[in-house]
Amino acid sequence: MGRKFFGTDGIRGRVGEAPINAEFMLKLGWATGRVLGNGPKSRVVIGKDTRISGYMFESALEAGLSAAGVDVRLLGPMPTPAIAYLTRTLHACAGIVISASHNPHYDNGIKFFSAEGCKLPDDVEAAIEAEMEKPMVTIASEKLGKAERVDDARGRYIEYCKSTIPFSISLRGLKIVVDCANGATYHIAPSVLKEMGAEVISIGVSPDGLNINHECGSTQPGLLREAVLNQNADLGIALDGDGDRVIMVDDRGELVDGDELLFIIAASRHEQGKLTGPVIGTLMSNLGLEHALQGLGIEFRRARVGDRYVLELLREHGGLLGGESSGHIICLDRSTTGDGMVSALQVLATMVQKNASLHQLKQGMKKYPQHMINVPLAQPIDVESSAPIQAAVAGAEAVLNGKGRVLLRPSGTEPLIRVMVEGEDASLVREQARLLARVVEQAVEARAEAG
């Protein structure tokens, strides 16, 4: 059965525009309770990031779940991976995340976790959508679900984060800048690092409901780089609004992206004999990651873009580590989903164990120049069936002459076509990306004119 509302990462859109409105969320909560509720003792946990619209959607989902006879445990502002963790430890039948991740405050969305703390499979999402087509019926008053706040959610997750690296490892002597993007980790990440002994300088920890991801966080690390250099810090950590992504900055102010962080973690696990199965990247992962891992004798495979597809391939091939260049890293030996704080701690532990700086650790991987251009879409277009686009792709591949890659793909969360070119020669890569993006723009314009 196809899905009408669910995309590659839940349901997302602009607040107030269907389906991201209170009416839809009420029905969604009810349908979720009907599909995932597993008896009279069923409970669902709900967490959110710091967007102002989270209050509205939290209340609507709570009402819908109660109407279906499901109890609710409210976590308040918490990172997405914390909600996955607490879904398991509180023995809930599902977890709901109210977040649009790295998007601006005027967007919001819903993500789900199963009782095991994993993303829902497609057939369960389809079942929820099918239930929403039915009239909403409230159960008898004596069977309505109850709602309670989980007052110790923050402390539970902080302790979990610390437990993901050996107790013997201390961060004393490290000066770390952490940027929480004015998002869900604002009251989590600084505490984790401080409790482990680091000297911490915090930025992006004053959420007001509107400033989430605004000129800060993993998607805009300029503020972090400036702070690391000005404070003479050993490194910087940038998380996104819901805390499932991480980007780092070394002591020289150089960015260390998700591909490089994945390499550092994988190399460390491999050296310790604790890495099983292949490392999973995506179609967007840098060629340098693939080559560096192969140089260590580590198998590398590519999944479709999206953490759910990385996770699927990890499970299929018995792997433990996977991730995306955006910083969404999955350490299945630590967590069931991408966790920015946990991933950062794995890198910090490697620094301490090897007595090496972040800059030194990333030297094992040489990144290929990669250039990506986002082409906005007024309406969907199939790049595979467009003769001009495919001719342009073939031309670019011929110019690269086997020493690079070309990738065109629609975004799973925004109305965009992502045009990516990668190769040894940076200027050639940029030139081919611009030429290809222009052809895509012309095809989009022609599609719009044709109606």
Q: Residue 159: its pLDDT value, please?
A: 98
**Residue 222: how many CB atoms within 10 A of its CB?**
12
At 324-336, the pLDDT tens digits run 999 999 999 999 9
Q: Residue 413: its pLDDT value, please?
A: 67
In the beta sheet, which residues pair with residue 76? 47
**Residue 354: how many CB atoms within 10 A of its CB?**
14
Among 42, 66, 99, 101, which one carries the catalytic annotation? 101
At a CB cut-off of 8 Å and minimum separation 6, what does 438 contact? none
At 79-91, the pLDDT tens digits run 999 999 999 999 9
Q: Where are the beta strands (DSSP E) in 16-173?
A: 43-48, 71-77, 94-98, 107-114, 147-149
C-alpha span between 413 and 306 (Å, rounded): 10
CA distances from 77 to 50, 52, 150, 197, 254 (A): 6, 11, 11, 25, 31
In the chain, the domains with their CATH numbers are 11-151 (3.40.120.10), 171-254 (3.40.120.10), 257-367 (3.40.120.10), 370-449 (3.30.310.50)
Q: Which two tokens stand for residue 438?
A: 């222009």
DSSP structure class, residue 135: P
Q: Where are the beta strands (DSSP E) in 288-337?
A: 300-303, 321-323, 329-331
Tens-level pLDDT at each residue, the chain (451 residues) = 457 899 878 999 999 999 999 999 999 999 999 999 877 779 999 999 999 999 999 999 999 999 999 999 999 999 999 999 999 999 999 999 999 999 999 999 999 999 999 999 889 999 999 999 999 999 999 999 999 999 999 999 999 999 999 999 999 999 999 999 999 999 999 999 999 999 999 999 999 999 999 999 999 999 999 999 999 999 999 999 999 999 999 999 999 999 999 999 999 999 999 999 999 999 989 999 999 999 999 999 999 988 889 999 999 999 999 999 999 999 999 999 999 999 999 999 999 999 999 999 999 999 999 999 999 987 778 888 889 999 999 999 999 988 889 999 888 667 899 999 999 899 999 999 999 999 999 988 888 777 6
Kindly give the pairing relationship between strand 300-303 and strand 279-282.
parallel
Alpha helices for 90-245 (secondary structure H): 122-132, 153-163, 189-195, 222-230
Q: Residue 305: its pLDDT value, please?
A: 85
268 among known catalytic residues:
no
Q: Residue 446: its pLDDT value, please?
A: 84
CA distances from 323 to 96, 133, 211 (A): 22, 35, 27
- Residue in 212, 103, 82, 100 with CA at minimum distance from that of residue 152: 82
